[in-house]
Amino acid sequence: MALPPSFAHGLYVLVGAALLGCAVMAFRARTLIASAVALGAGSTSLALLFFLLNAPFAGAVQLSVGAGLVSTLFLIGISLTESIRGGRPR
């Protein structure tokens, strides 16, 4: 499905801005959980960018591995580390 050029350029800019915003949010987050969620959202927007660029295999791999598996492992690791340390740090 071909998109009109002006709409496609606007969509690329919008998804790129979302990706950049998620990266900045992951870097500036105060908690590790918020940072991991922002990384998952950034991986999802990168997968959307791959789909827009007609690379469905790369988008599917990024969505399943980057956004799904890695984000889940980060969240599990953070929650296990906080429970071992005895709660949240001050």
Residue 77 located in a structural domain:
yes
Residue 9 located in a structural domain:
no
Number of domains making up the chain: 1
Q: What angle do CA 32, 36, 80 make, to 5 degrees?
A: 60
Residue 17 located in a structural domain:
no
pLDDT in tens, 12-68: 999 999 999 999 999 999 988 899 899 999 999 999 999 999 999 999 999 999 888
15 phi, psi to nearest 5 deg: -70, -40
Residue 3 located in a structural domain:
no
Q: Is the pLDDT of residue 88 over 80?
A: no
Residue 89 belongs to domain spanning: 26-90
Q: Is the pTM above the cut of 0.85?
A: no
Q: In the numeric block, which tokens belong to residue 81?
A: 């580390």
Residue 70 located in a structural domain:
yes
Residue 66 located in a structural domain:
yes
Q: Is the pLDDT of residue 72 over 90?
A: no
Residue 37 located in a structural domain:
yes
Asked if 26 contacts 42 with a C-beta cutoff of 8 angstroms, the reply is yes
